[in-house]
Structure 1
Amino acid sequence: MTTAISKREPRAVKAWEPMQAVREEFEGLWNQLIGERAPGWFAMQMAPALDLTETAKTVEVRMDLPGFTTDEINVQLNNNVLTISGAREEEQKEDVATFHRIERRSGSFSRSVALPTHVVEEKVDAKFRNGVLAVTLQKCADEKCRKIKVHE
């Protein structure tokens, strides 16, 4: 495999974005050394943002998952830890197209969050609408929480 190093145009540093030029320079060098398919120097793995809210009766987790389908999302609750995972396959690219920038992520992700209170594991509602996953969990009243008897 051969890698052609081409001369690039100098970048102007904007007063309000001085680190952007440094990041782009590192990404350009990284791509010359490793190739275009490698992640950028400061690139993060796919980790969708989430919000965790609590009301008097429920705990709700909302996660932005644009471009996903319900078949690509997995929701699990185990020991009061909610885990949301998923995978999105890389789109097939045409050989005739020239891509000047590829920033959308593909691959898999997994986010786990410890819930702030005990919840009823049998009453979990997960809805996916307009690219937002909303998982609603009913809080467990102390007298309704599952008690585990300790044996000698």
Structure 2
Amino acid sequence: MAEEKTTEIQEAKLVRMASPFDEMDRLFDRLLARRGWMRPWRTDWPSLGEIGWAEPRLPKVDIVDREDDILMRAEVPGIDKSELEISVGEDSVTLRGETRCEEKAEAGDLYRCEISHGAFSRTVGLPAAVDGSKAKAVFRDGVLTLTLPKVERARRHTVHID
């Protein structure tokens, strides 16, 4: 008899949508904080992120365009490889996964909550067409490494000038 797989359903958490301006805000904050220009306007009030608005947790990636293949590394800490799904299209890779939250009853008031839990999905465009059926994946220490062979028509060819 086949073993039946059960999936635990977790209550959805309120997540703030990522804004395209968030990274720019962080860069300006870092620049101004280094120079001390904004210090008079700073307060000790917590930001919305510190109050409990979690940002979506998307893996950070490095992509290297090599002669015959594309190398992609993705940071996915805190995820078991059985919770990670990789799908490769002709010119894109989609990573999906989910971190599970172990519910613990903690005594005291929650002071800071930054560890995010839940599902994520990220699709990344590739610089050339790849053959997904020949892709190789290695997962070690929270880093996923994909080797994606290019299709023949996408490989670089040297053209000599006559």
User: TM-score category by the smaller chain?
Assistant: 0.5 to 0.7
2:160 pairs with 1:139: no
Q: Deviations over 1:79-127 (max 9, x none)?
A: 4221011111222122425432221111111111121111112101111
Q: 2:118 aligns with which of 107, 111, 114?
A: 107
Which of 50, 57, 64 is matched with 2:75 structurally? 64
Q: Are 2:47 and 1:26 equivalent residues in the alignment?
A: yes
Would the aligned equivalents of 2:90 and 2:129 in 1 still touch at CA under 8 Å?
no
Structure 1: tracts of 5 or more residues without a match: 1-14, 32-37, 145-152
Give the secondary structure class of the aligned counterpart of 1:109: strand
Shift of 1:44: 2.6
Q: TM-score scaled to structure 1, two decimals? A: 0.66
Structure-1 separation of matches of 2:46 and 2:154: 60
Structure 2's unaligned 5+ residue stretches are: 1-32, 156-162
Shift in alpha-carbon separation, 1:143–1:77, aligned structure 2, 3 A: closer
| Aligned twin of 2:127 | 116
The one-letter code of the counterpart of 1:69 is: D
- CA–CA distance in 2 between the matches of 1:87 and 1:143? 33
Instruction: Tell me how far apart the structure 1 counterparts of residues 85 and 45 of structure 2 sit (CA, whole Å).
Output: 35
Structure (1/2) with the larger helix percentage: 2
Match of residue 91, structure 1, among 102, 112, 123:
102
- CA drift of 1:140 comes to 1.3
Amino acid of the residue matched to residue 58 of structure 2? A
CA distance in 2, matches of 1:61, 1:23: 40
- Residue range with higher mean Cα deviation, 62-71 or 77-86: 77-86
Q: Please identify the structure whose Cα radius of gyration is greater.
A: 1
